[in-house]
Amino acid sequence: MDVVLLSRLQFAVTVFFHFIFVPLTLGLSIMLAVMETMYVRTGDEMYKRMVKFWGKLFIINFTLGVVTGITLEFQFGTNWSRYSEYVGDIFGSLLAIEATAAFFLESTFLAVWWFGWEKVSKKMHCFAIWMVAFASNLSALWIIIANGFMQNPVGYVIRNGRAELDDFFAVITNPYSMGQYPHTVIASWMLAGFFVMGVSAWHLLRKNEEAFFKKSFKYGAAFALVFAVTVAISGHHQGNLVAKLQPAKLAAMESHWETMKGAPMNLLVMPDEANEKNAVEALGIPNVLSILAFNDPNAEVKGLKDFPKEDRPPVLITFLSFRVMVGLGTLFPLLAGLAWLWREKIQEKPWLLKSLIYTIPLPYLAIMFGWAVAEVGRQPWIVYGMMRTNDAVSPVPASSVLTSIIAFVVVYSLLGVLDIYLLRKYAQKGPKKA
């Protein structure tokens, strides 16, 4: 088998599995900080119970997220050594900052928070969870800045046959990263809102701790609604950046083959990549693609045929991933809006409560498909316009990569089962009695 394909498959498996845990960590840390702030301000013991219950689920998720994240950085050395050699001066420094600053800060204050109940003052304890939330989201920032360099390389010079850091400020203010970061983080906060709503809905249907879970449900509904709307706004901004910086990716996202001004958006499309056209193309809305890409109804949108075949991303995967992400992203504000509208009498809407339980996986799927758009749409480049993926792999036998993939799948499957078991167990168990 092809070592490039196997290495890509291995990284995809590990990064997507790791990313099951990351969004909930980012979002739930913020919700915990808000709940504990309310406890400190009001002295209401209900808030303290909420922090302890949701905090236990947070700790389970955080722990497994750390375990699955460690292996990712090793792969740059084992499977992508040529990439590391070529851009390691830049990429390595960003990952080092993330590990030594953000993760260290996060872990330190997490220990203070988890073990500090009744041992430090209320305000200090509350400060600790805010620092955990800040550091978690700061950690994501450095990861996305590193990924942003792969999407839109800036701040470097080619010297001695490799990319070396020339302008650190340009790297950390990369416009691609500055658009990608809010979109990713806001989506994670929205996911946490749906997670809290879904678990609360399960208990409300069974009339368990109704006051506790009704208050939790309101927090989840508020989070989900605010961030379901803002993630769509940030997504539009990110689309503008993709149109400007990665026009081939945008064309693949829409299966747009011909360059044209005032480009329409077709609601019904089936790509036919082999024949460089769409097998089905219907229900076009005039000028909408130009508006979405450039905020100008008459703007020119470049088609895939204007890019050499060897520089085009895989169209079908990019197109379908984008459509699924957008479709789910359209559903979330509607569900969150209904939940917020009926928050006071939510127990009279059992159909909505049942729907919200089954909705828990959907924000995860939306985020996964969003990452597929970002990463598959960047192909065939590992660093856009600078280094091809085929040139980045380590000179190792394909059999070695295949063996490690099998090992990863087995271990990660066990961790996944453990995570679902623990989250389900403690979510269904509910809070300790007051």
Task: List pLDDT tens digits, range 288-333.
Answer: 899 988 989 999 999 999 999 999 999 999 999 999 999 999 999 9
Buried b (16+ CB within 10 A) or exposed e, 317-341: bbbbbbbbbbebbeebbebbebbbe
pLDDT for 68 equals: 76
Q: Whole-structure pTM over 0.85, yes or no?
A: yes
pLDDT for 333 equals: 94
Of the chain, the percentage scoring pLDDT greater than 70 comes to: 100
Q: DSSP secondary-structure letter at 276?
A: T
Cα–Cα–Cα angle for 423, 48, 39, rounded to 5 degrees = 135
Residue 193: closest CA among 228, 141, 229: 228
- Token readout for 299 is 């703007």
- Token readout for 332 is 């979330």
Residue 245: closest CA among 365, 381, 370: 381
Query: pLDDT band at 5, cuts 50/70/90?
Result: confident
Q: Mean pLDDT, the chain, as a whole number?
A: 90
Q: DSSP secondary-structure letter at 120?
A: S
- Residue 388's CB is within 10 A of a number of other CB atoms, namely 15
What is the mean predicted confidence (pLDDT) over 386-409?
A: 86
Q: How many CA atoms lie within 13 A of 411 on its CB side?
A: 14
pLDDT for 77 equals: 76
Give Cα 75 distance to the centre of its chain: 20
What is the mean predicted confidence (pLDDT) over 24-47?
A: 93
pLDDT for 195 equals: 95
- Residue 202's CB is within 10 A of a number of other CB atoms, namely 20
Query: pLDDT band at 253, cuts 50/70/90?
Result: very high
Question: Does residue 182 carry a pLDDT above 80?
Answer: yes
pLDDT for 90 equals: 87
Coil/strand/helix, residue 284: strand
CA end-to-end distance (rounded Å), the chain: 59
Report CA Rg, the chain: 23
Query: pLDDT band at 350, cuts 50/70/90?
Result: very high
Query: pLDDT band at 54, cuts 50/70/90?
Result: very high
pLDDT for 312 equals: 93
pLDDT for 283 equals: 85
* Residue 63 buriedness (CB in 10 A; 0-12 / 13-18 / 19+): middle
pLDDT for 2 equals: 84
Question: Does residue 31 carry a pLDDT above 80?
Answer: yes
Q: Which residues contact 307 (CB under 8 A, 6 or more apart)?
A: 247, 248, 251
Of the chain, the percentage scoring pLDDT greater than 90 comes to: 55
Question: Does residue 30 carry a pLDDT above 90?
Answer: yes
Give Cα 427 distance to the centre of its chain: 23
pLDDT for 424 equals: 87
pLDDT for 94 equals: 86
Which amino acid makes up residue 294?
A: F
Task: List pLDDT tens digits, range 93-125.
Answer: 888 888 777 778 888 898 999 898 888 999 999
- Residue 30 near residue 112 (C-beta atoms within 8 A): no
- Token readout for 212 is 């506790």
pLDDT for 372 equals: 93
